[in-house]
Structure 1
């Protein structure tokens, strides 16, 4: 990203905190660091204080192939209505995060042609029968396709970031960690589908990398039985981070009069 500044020069660099200022006689490489913005959020197992200036929202797999009735999941006979039902909450959450001025990052499946050498143990998760359509095949999570794109009703805004993945975790062999480090992010909010699959694996992977993790439970969904989702929220609160609700998060992030 680049743009002119009032002195007649211009700036380059897409990410906040990573921009240079270019003038006629000097290049400014000083990157001002944001001031801490601590906010207390009701959570389980205990309330948690986060630094809004170093927080990002990760929205996992809210893409057409999982949410749309013409997508890959529905074509496999999966009832996608529980996943589609969470779209309004994800929309509200992403708007709340943008209003608080921290990044919204969409992390979607996007498998390259030829499945990019995915190992058999991964391919088997998406192709249990010979006549099934598996990862990376036409109509199944293929990078650059309609199915791999963020759902039609949840189009990212210009300030958002989109990172494709080829595993359940959004971190494995992707640029996600690099993007977050460049942003100076230390705390991650998690939303999306399926909470017991890609959301959970991305969250635990983030924790192993040292990020503080908050699961926004009512902005997540799964096609698994309800008790599976409850088990995941229990595991997150017990072992992997904190569990929060959208209304309480929105209240905590609201500007102070």
Structure 2
């Protein structure tokens, strides 16, 4: 049932957000890599859609959110195409037939082709993981709900800067009807 009409969405697992020396490293993002990889392998083995959502910004930062524009002016830009930082971490590199959606704002749905692609594939349920809770994960989940998708949030495959921030966001989205579970519960008993 959980697998029917489902797609896996892996959000912002790029070097600039995951690697410890990265400009916008999210503490805890690297620790989620093994659990995200478990999900990725499960979706791949079942031939189900995988959507990698990433950020790209111009080197001058003119297309970044206002609150982050200053980083570019200070020379601390991030997710600039062609840089190592903009690449998806090695452990999660997309396969040729997997989707890569490029966004410039927090939500994976804002001004992208994501909704169109999901509807064309008949997807009704999104299994969401990645980084980070209070912005890109949360806004993507809110927009998915507003667009009528069922959402499963994989809480131990999603990171935030602190446990408190993660817990507050999990509480909020669960109160909105999002199924929040860990990888082992989602994958179920293994034979």
Q: Normalising by structure 1, what TM-score? A: 0.68
Runs (4 or more) in structure 1 with deviation over 3 Å come to 112-115
**Gap change, CA 1:184 and 1:154, over 3 Å in 2:** same
Deviation, 1:125, is 3.2
Q: Are the equivalent residues in 1 in contact too, given 2:59–2:72 (CA < 8 A)?
A: no
Q: Does 1:159 align with 2:97?
A: yes
Q: Does 1:103 align with 2:49?
A: yes
Q: Which has the larger radius of gyration?
A: 1
Report the equivalent of 2:74. Answer: 131
Report the equivalent of 1:53. Answer: 4
1:109-120 aligned at under 5 Å gives the runs 109-115=55-61, 117-118=62-63
C-alpha distance in structure 1 between counterparts of 2:7 and 2:28, whole Å = 25
**Gap change, CA 1:113 and 1:181, over 3 Å in 2:** farther
Deviation, 1:70, is 4.0
Match of 2:155 among 187, 208, 217: 217
Report the equivalent of 2:180. Answer: 243
Structure 1 SS opposite 2:9: strand
Report the more deviating stretch, 152-161 or 60-69.
152-161
**Gap change, CA 1:129 and 1:185, over 3 Å in 2:** closer
Structure 2 portions without partners, runs of 5+:
none
C-alpha distance in structure 2 between counterparts of 1:132 and 1:244, whole Å = 39
Query: Would you say how many aligned residue pairs link Structure 1 and Structure 2?
Result: 191
Q: Does 1:175 align with 2:113?
A: yes
Q: Does 1:227 align with 2:164?
A: yes
Deviation, 1:197, is 1.4
Structure with the larger RCO, 1 or 2 (CA within 8 Å, 6+ apart): 2
The CA RMSD over aligned residues, in Å, is 2.2
Q: Are the equivalent residues in 1 in contact too, given 2:16–2:79 (CA < 8 A)?
A: yes
Deviations 1:15-47 (A, max 9, x none): xxxxxxxxxxxxxxxxxxxxxxxx2xxxxxxxx
Deviation, 1:153, is 2.1
Structure 1 portions without partners, runs of 5+:
1-38, 40-49, 75-79, 135-139
C-alpha distance in structure 1 between counterparts of 2:91 and 2:22, whole Å = 14
C-alpha distance in structure 1 between counterparts of 2:67 and 2:15, whole Å = 21
C-alpha distance in structure 2 between counterparts of 1:185 and 1:129, whole Å = 37
